[in-house]
Every structure is written in C-alpha cells, then in structure tokens.
Amino acid sequence: MNIHKNLIALLFILFGYSVQAQNLMNKYNLMPWPNEIQENANLFSINPNLTISIKGEDSGRVNHAVINFLRRLSGRTGIFIDKGFPNTNKKSKSSINIYFDTISNLTLGEDESYTLTITNKHITINAKTDIGAIRGIETLLQLTSSNKTTYYFPGVNVTDKPRFVWRGLMIDAARHFQPIDVIKRNLDAMASVKLNVFHWHLTDDHGFRVASKIYPKLQELASDGLFYTQEQVKEIVAYASLLGIRVVPEFDVPGHASAILTAYPNLGSKENYDYQIERFAGVFNPTLNPSKEETYQFLNKLFTEMASLFPDAYFHIGGDENAGKHWNESEEIQNFKNTHGLKSNHDLQTYFNIRLEKILKKSNKFLMGWDEIMTKNMPTTAVIHSWRGKNEGLKESTLIEAAKKGYQTVLSNGYYIDRMLSVAHHYSVDPIGNATLTDSELKNILGGEATMWSELVTPLTIDSRIWPRTAAIAERFWSPKEVNDINNMLIRLEDVNHKLEELGLTHLKNKSVILRNLTNYQNISSLTVLSNICEPLKVYSRNKGGTEYKTFSPFTLFADACNVDASEALKFHSAVTNYLNKSTTGNKNEIISFLDKWICNQQKFSLLKPNRKLNEISSSYENLANASKIIKKKLSKKISKKQTIVLEKALKSIKNPFVDVEFAIYNDLKKLATQSKN
C-alpha cells in the first residue's frame, strides 16, 4: 500500500495536480469535483452493520442528512442496513463518525468546508459547521461504488470547500405555478450538488404567488388560486434551512406588475387601464406608479409582511425590463419627474429603488435587484444580479462592471437554463473569466445562479429543464476554476443525472409519460428513439412562428418530451467524427447501426394507430428514414444522381424545425452525406 501511495505522490510531484486530478476524475463520479482528493488504497465495505454517529451539538440538519443518507444508500444498494437512525449513544464510536463544531445560522459566507477520510473500517467527516458536515455527507454518498458482488466506498481523503459563497438556482413560480412538492424535490437536488441559495421568483405579470394577510386581493384576484400559503412558505424556508440552503424571495417591481395591478389597479401608472393577469409570454407595460405616495405605503406594508416570512438578509426586488411606456404616457409621472429633478426614467426608477431600500432596511434586509438597478445614484449597499451580457447587446456581462463599481454581485448571464442551450455552454461560462480585478473587487463577486424561467415549463417538465444541466453549473460555482474538462464533466454528469432520480426528480421518468400520452397509450419505443435525437427549439424561438403559447396551453407535446443535449445525438456525433476521421469497417458499422435504428423505428412508428398529435410528426420522421436509407447506401457505393437529389431534399426538410423541435443530428447527417467517400 505504501508503494502505491508513494507512486501517486511521485506522479504528483512529476506531473502536478492536473494529471492526478484527471486520473481520479475518470474514476469517481463526484460533482461538484472537490477542492482536493487523494486515494489512500483503502476500501470501506457497505454492509448491514453500518452505523453512524453524529459528534456535535446538532440543530437537526445533520440528523436529517444522516437519515436520508441511510435511506438513499439502502435504496440504491438494496442492502438492509440494520440501524435506520444515527447512533444515540454519544460515547460509542460508529463506523461513520461525523464531527462538527458549530451550528450555522445560514448567513452569506458561512463556512461550508469539510474533510472526508475513508479507510477500511472507519469513515470520518470533519467540518467547522453542521452545513459543512452535510456537504461532506453528500460527497460520501456520491462515492458509493459497486463491483460484481458488493458495494463499497473507495478509500480517499477529501479536503473541500467552495469557490463561491453564492451558488443558486432561481425558480420562477409566477409564470407557471410550481407546487411545493416541486420546490422540495428541487431543494433536495440542489443540496445533492451543494447549491446553497434558492431564489424564489414569486410574482410577475402572470401571478402573485404568496398569500398576503394585509393585501389578500393579491392572492384572491391575481393568482388563479395558485399561490403558496404563508405556512407553506415557512415550510419551504425551514426545509431549505435543513439542507443548508438560503431562500431569497423575489417580488418583482415596478415592472412585471400586471398581477399586482389586477388586484390593486389604483397603484398603476395608467389610469382607467384594464389590468389583467397576463396569459402570454413577453415583456409588458403594466408598471407601478412611482409618483404616488400610496405605492410606497403599499410596498412598505407588503414588503414588511413578506420580509417576515423570509429570514435571509437578502430580498430581491426585481427591477428589470421596465421600458417605461406607461410612465411616459402619464402626465402625473412626468410632472413628478420634473418636480424631483429626475431627468430620465432611469433616474425615476433609482428614486423608486432607493425608497425601497429604506423600506427593506427596516426589516434588516439588503436590497438585491437585476442589473437594471445599477444606475448612477444607486448606493453600493444594493446587490446587483447580473443577467445581461453579449446576448443583450452589451460588451460583456454586467457582473464585472458591478464588482468594479463596488457592488456585491451575482451572475446569471450565461446560466439561463430556460434558453435550452447545451450543458457544455453553461459549464464554460466562468463568473470571473479573464477579468483583472483587485482583491476587493474579486470579493464583490459572490457567485452565480442558474435561472429557471417558467414561460414554457409546468410541474410535468420543469425538472427536465433544470436537471442535469444545473449540476454542472453547480460545479462551476463550487469547484476550482481549473476543473473545466467538458468531456470528463459529461461522463460524471451522466451518473449524477441518474442518481438524481432517487430524490424523486421527474426529469427522466416524465419523458415516457408525455410520449405515452402522445401516442394515446400505444407502444412508445419508436417515438422514444425519435425523441432522443430531437431538441426543443432554443432561445425562446419556441414561442415564435406557430401557435403562441399561453400559460394554460398544453405543455404535453413532443417538444416537452425532448430535451437539450439529446442523448443519442451526442453519441451519433462521436460516431460520425470517428468515421470521417478514419473510415474503418468498425466505424462504418457504428454509423449504420444508428441509421438502421432510425429506419426501423420509423417503420414501427408508421404502424401506430394515427392521431392528430402523431400526424404532425410523421413526415419529419419519414424524411429522416429516407435520408438514412440513402446515406446508408452511399456509405457502401456510389448513389445515383436521382438519389442524390432525393437525399438533398430530405436533408433540407430535416433542417427545418417541426412541432417546436429540431433534429440535433442534422449537422452530422449533413456532414456524412457530403463528406462520406462515395
């Protein structure tokens, strides 16, 4: 064993961190990858006698984590662990011992570090705080390994801590309401990849989602009955705390206010306007009136009430996408600007924000807002949530600018998971990148948040849009910057993706639900094959062109069953790349097995009893099968001119989106058709 250890030490000296890390990264499916990990040539065998002791004064967090650890370990291994609860005998040592010093009060920057040591007989987790301890428990669980006959934990020493203190996921519960079981299972998933901030977008044009006792019309008139009771909010906050996750609520003002103004139209910027809950996606004009004292009285009472539900020190007021149309159209507001020497709508919104900051200060909250709030006069006590960047016509994300100006700041630009871009894209976005910053500027960059806007997701599909991509983003926020090998990440992600199912996430299983429904409950295998090479249209183009979605439109369609990073498309891409690099028989046969699968399944599909949902898909599937047949022929011999024309036509059709999806294999098919030898 010592020889082995020395060898690794030697290799480490010779090749530095990266080679050893790379080595281990191919071996263990940890995500986020820890700060430091070394093998120690031990092996802890998982058996029914496994016991756990909690060595520290617990607030309930570690107990909760340990019980879930036991259930999940038992569930995934099938081992009947005899003791289902932590060892209550304080003096005795168990096979797993968890030490920690203090109970975290879950404030920003809390110590989350831990060490984990696995030897043959014992496992030790050591942490400063209970939250560090539960982070370590998740790492241990991820290390569960299996050989032919047993399950075990491999002998490793882990020393770990996060790179950023703010590692978040935002869920928009306004555009499509997400019941608390959706929130809870996503909190579980967040904790499993060490995310620590749940940003809860609670109001928008489409609904106000928390019960107010002071302004009950908000939930009565502006939620369609879909809102959280205050008890439920407290339940979620308590549950998140148990997982070491802070909850930052967002009440978006002064824009995105259709719902609020449906309940309280007198606070609107436009008189006699018929405010209604919005049903479409987009940016809308209804805006709170910043020139009325009543508005501030309302926000004072409402925010004070809401602040009392959320113990966290940060309170998000939105502040984004106010084009100011209704402000421009209001004489009253224009007069107000003149009276107060506010030259632009930006100045007016700054005035509004500063008043909100004072209101929030009374509840001991810091104001946080989307980057539009970063105006000339905005005090640097505000936290800037950077969402705009190159896509929005800026030179770079607003994050660096905010940090340089002295604001604390959090990055979401690049982590908009609702845009349906590949995990590789999001993983490649580093919050700091190559920016040159002073230490204090660097310290202003708190971290980042993946944002799940919900125009196009319902409880049926939201998990599949959040996961697994958010696990890779979580690694970006936790792990050292140097952990950035996309191919290795993809391998580890596949394992994480599956294990997320044990937390009740529906991201995998609901695909079949949607496909069964689409076929009117026929055999879905042929449709599954198609769905694995199709991706939903990206960057909000799904809403364009065809039927415009409303909040109550069906999201049970083929596009909802498909996902970004289509699993078979990635595999086909490697097969094509290999074949075009080297046209061996083996490589050719791999291509042919893909083509055959599509040809054969299209035939199966054509035998299904038709219905109007399947009809919309059939011609595209047929084009794919036809193209596949000709390409297959072309791989072995020259094809006729006529066939070339047919192939080109089929490929042209394949390039076109259909039922809000696109063929993710198009580029590779095209390459194959044009570059293959015959």
Q: How far is the CB of 562 from a second copy (least distance, A)?
A: 15
Nearest Cα to 451, choosing from 418, 425, 409, 408? Answer: 418
Structure tokens that stand for 600 in this block: 């054969």
Q: Which of 199, 238, 353 is nearest to 288 (CA)?
A: 353
In which element (H, E) is residue 672 found?
A: helix 666-675
Q: Are 37 and 157 in contact (CB under 8 A)?
A: yes
d(CA 294, CA 669): 62
Active-site residue (options: 321, 329, 502, 648) = 321
Q: Whose Cβ is closer to a second copy: residue 26's or residue 675's?
A: 26
Pick the closer one to a second copy by CB: 79 or 435.
79
> Three-state SS string across 192-258, please?
HCCCCEEEEEEEECCEECECCCCCCHHHHHCCCCCCECHHHHHHHHHHHHHCCCEEEEEEEECCCCH
Minimum Å gap between C-beta 504 and a second copy is 8
- What tokens appear for 666 in the block? 């198009």
Nearer to a second copy, 145 or 300 (CB): 145
| Least spacing, CB of residue 590 vs a second copy, in Å | 17
What is the closest distance, in whole angstroms, from the C-beta atom of residue 497 to a second copy in the complex? 9
CB of 184 to a second copy, least distance (A): 8
Question: Among 386, 354, 350, 348, which Cα is nearest to 367's?
Answer: 354
Specify the residue, 145 or 676, whose C-beta has the smaller distance to a second copy.
145
Question: Please, what is the minimum distance in Å from the beta carbon of residue 553 to a second copy?
Answer: 5
Q: How many residues comprise the chain? A: 678
Report the amino acid identity of residue 102.
Answer: T
Residue showing tokens 């009809």: 615
Half-sphere exposure of residue 242: CA atoms within 13 angstroms, side-chain side: 16
CB of 499 to a second copy, least distance (A): 8
383-386/408-411 β-pairing: parallel
Task: Please name the amino acid found at residue 650.
Answer: A
Containing H/E element for 123?
A: strand 123-129
Give the separation between CA 270 and CA 296, rounded to whole angstroms.
17
**Quick one: tokens of 637?**
């011999």
Residues 6+ apart with CB under 8 A from 648: 673
Q: Which is nearer to a second copy, 326 or 469 (CB)?
A: 469
**Residue placing its CB nearer to a second copy in the complex, 56 or 504:** 504
Token readout for 221 is 């008139």
Q: Positive or negative, the Cα torsion across 643, 649, 652, 654?
A: negative
**Smallest gap from residue 236 Cβ to a second copy (A):** 13
Residue 662 CA, chain-centre distance (Å), reads 22
Nearer to a second copy, 320 or 622 (CB): 622
321 is catalytic: yes
Neighbours of 621 (CB within 10 A): 22
Comparing CB distances to a second copy, the nearer of 274 and 331 is 274
**For binding to a second copy (CB under 8 A), which residues are involved?**
64, 67, 70-71, 74-81, 84-85, 146-151, 179-181, 224-225, 229, 231, 235, 279, 459, 494-495, 498-499, 501-502, 504, 506, 508-510, 512-513, 516-518, 520-521, 547, 549-557, 610-613, 615
Residues identified as active-site: 321
